[in-house]
Amino acid sequence: MRIHSLFIPLALVIVSCSPKVIPSFQKTYPPSVSSPQDVVVVENKTVKAVPENAELLGSVRVTDTGFTSKKNGTYENVVNLAKNEAWQAGGNFMVINQHLEPDIWTSNIHRINTLVFRADSAFLNKTNSYDLTYTESLPEIKADQKPGLVVSGSAGVEFRTDRLSDQLTPDQKEHLKKLNRGTNLNLDINYIFKSGQGLGLVFHKYNATSQDNVMLEYQGVQESGLLTTNVSMVFYSLVYSLRSVSLNQKHTILTQIGFGPVFYKYEDHFNNLHEQMTGNTLGMLCTFAYGYNITKELSLGGKLSYCTGTLTSISHTDPEGVTSVVKLEKEQREGLNRLGLSVSAIYSF
């Protein structure tokens, strides 16, 4: 029993003295070269491109555990650890895209981030480990950005950022405050080109409801009842889209900006009375969506959105059904600015 109790902490000390190796592969194959030492390694400062037919398998990061000894954290040792992971995953070409040297503040060992590729033998024969020269121009190292349709959808909460008028009574302010928080729904379809840029169409809707028991006066008669107010804003637009995918194919970012019409609708229901205001204006929508790639096509994550616009006139329909158009003075104009936070899904065809 004593032997076992001594062996366990000793084993932990031995393991902790070695650097931490963090592999992250989207694809793996059987080894394509005879040993890890046959994996070709280059520094990013030496190589700026790889062949188009070189397949990106993933990445390997070698870092400090906090207890790694300087002897075990030499540059040669951490590179060999990364090469072993690359070899096991079927890679034969490794690019060190980040190299942190030892320092007195963070770590006394070398730390590296690498990209692992599976390249053909003709390309490998042109290279020497730690030294790479080219006789021809090659495409840049970047994530695979296949052109095609990208559809995204999101739903969440949205907050109106405009201040309420100081001319409102406390009861009115309390009722309208509830309309400053609602739900949003966003659907869009985009065509993304190989560069990652694209064009799309977007539908964005905001809904909010407020209910209060109030006393109102209409045509000289006071009446108590439940006041229900519904607000909706719908935005349609052609958008400029930009999609980027991380080199390890695990993260997707989709940003959009567009200008288009915003349709506003405000409805009051009080007992048997119904009052409505509608209007439209030009608005702008900006979105930023992040997704973690569950599959090659589907990513799930969150979206931050901001929609802006200002109503300068409204169409008012009173309880008698009479409709009139009212031009709003500067201090009366209705701000439609909203900040949204949603869960989202992005699907690339």
CA atoms of 171 and 245, how far apart (whole Å):
50
Whole-Å CA distances, 109 to 18, 55, 70, 95, 210: 10, 30, 5, 19, 60
Judge whether residue 2 has pLDDT over 60: no
Residue indicated by tokens 């000894």: 69
Pairwise pLDDT comparison (56 vs 84), residue with the higher score: 84
Pairwise pLDDT comparison (215 vs 110), residue with the higher score: 110
What secondary structure letter does DSSP report for 297?
S
Q: Which residues pair with 157 in a beta bridge?
A: 183, 341
> What is the tens place of the pLDDT at every residue in 329-342?
877 788 889 999 99
CA atoms of 129 and 55, how far apart (whole Å):
19
Mean pLDDT over all residues of the chain?
81
What's the whole-number mean pLDDT along residues 18-37? 88
> What is the tens place of the pLDDT at every residue in 134-178?
333 334 445 556 778 999 999 999 998 877 766 666 777 777 788
Whole-Å CA distances, 136 to 39, 41, 238: 22, 19, 41
**pLDDT value at position 97?**
79
What secondary structure letter does DSSP report for 306?
E
What's the whole-number mean pLDDT along residues 285-309? 90
**pLDDT value at position 143?**
53
> What is the tens place of the pLDDT at every residue in 231-275?
999 999 999 999 887 755 678 889 999 999 999 998 988 888 888
What's the whole-number mean pLDDT along residues 196-210? 91
| Domains in the chain, CATH or no CATH each | 17-124 (no CATH), 148-348 (2.40.160.20)
What's the whole-number mean pLDDT along residues 278-303? 90
Q: What are the tokens at 319?
A: 């309880």
> What is the tens place of the pLDDT at every residue in 269-278?
888 888 888 9
What's the whole-number mean pLDDT along residues 59-83? 86
Number of H helices, E strands in the chain: 4, 17
Q: Which of 102, 189, 121 is nearest to 152 (CA)?
A: 189
**pLDDT value at position 196?**
83
Query: Which contacts qualify for 214-220: CB closer than 8 Å, 24 or more apart?
Result: 214/171, 214/175, 214/270, 216/270, 218/273, 218/319
Contacts of 202 (CB under 8 A, 6+ apart): 186, 187, 188, 235, 236, 237, 239, 256, 258, 260, 285, 287
Q: Is 124 helix (H, G, I), strand (E, B) or coil?
A: helix
**pLDDT value at position 138?**
38
Instruction: Provide the Cα torsion 107, 109, 114, 119; round to 10°.
Output: 180
What secondary structure letter does DSSP report for 140?
B
